[in-house]
Amino acid sequence: MNNRLKVLRAERDWSQAHLATELGVSRQTVNALETGRYDPSLPLAFKIARLFQLPIESIFSDEE
Amino acid sequence: MAGKRKLYIQSAIALGLFLAATFVTGGVIGYLSEGDKDLLASPVALAVVVAFAAVSMLIAMWISLKWMSSIDEAAQEAHKWSWFWGGSSGMAVGGVFVILAAMPQAAALKIPAWYADRTDPAAYAATGAFAMLTLMLIGYGVAWAWWWLGRR
């Protein structure tokens, strides 16, 4: 699954550590999410969407 | 973060209490067995050790539960994945030795007496359990490192 997390984070000039704190996860988890090597659970995906104030489908996509 | 700190403190207290209980129990047993060499073979001693082992494992499980609920979902997934694949792989390696134990050649095998200098069936059973656990933990460790290295 692809996502725009890295872009959205860069737009806000946030570090991975800051995003991790906001989401209540570790920095390693944020890194795994950004590289697309770990797909978040639905609750975490909703939390990410709320944080960026965007719909989930505009952050995550299942297209290759 | 505060939850994790609280868990560290609780775990440290639990470990401290466990070590203190072990120290006191060891001292009491040493003192009592000085006057009675057969003390450890008594049913009372067996009951005490069973209770101590059960409580120790319950505390370990409680700490594990708290720990698991304190880490984030990716870390939980890494542990679950690693325990299934790494633990299963370690068990598969151990399974080879379990099958080999059925061979006639294995009957003549002598295992070093590392378990309290004993070579009785219970000591050998403990040896087998420890060996299987060790293999599973090695597999678990390798799988855990593999999971995180693949997601860097």
Closest residue on chain A to B76 (Cα): A29
CA distance A4 to A12: 13
B109 or B76: whose pLDDT is higher?
B76
pLDDT, one tens digit per residue, over B98-115 is 999 999 988 888 777 787
Give the pLDDT score at A13: 96
Q: Which residues in chain A touch residue B75, judged by CB atoms under 8 angstroms apart?
A: 26, 28-29
Burial class (CB within 10 angstroms; exposed 0-12, middle 13-18, buried 19+) of B57: exposed
Q: At what angle do helices B73-100 and A27-34 cross, to 10 degrees?
A: 90
Domain A2-54: assigned CATH number: 1.10.260.40
Ordered alpha helix ranges (H), chain A: 5-11, 16-23, 27-34, 42-52, 56-59
Q: Do B74 and A31 touch (CB under 8 A)?
A: no
Indicate whether B3 pLDDT > 70.
no
Q: At what angle do helices B121-149 and B73-100 cross, to 10 degrees?
A: 140
Q: Tell me whether residues B148 and A38 touch, CB distance under 8 A.
A: no
A61 bridge partner residues: A2
Contact status, residue A27 vs residue A17, Cβ threshold 8 Å: yes
Q: Of residues B41 and A32, which shows the higher confidence score? A: A32
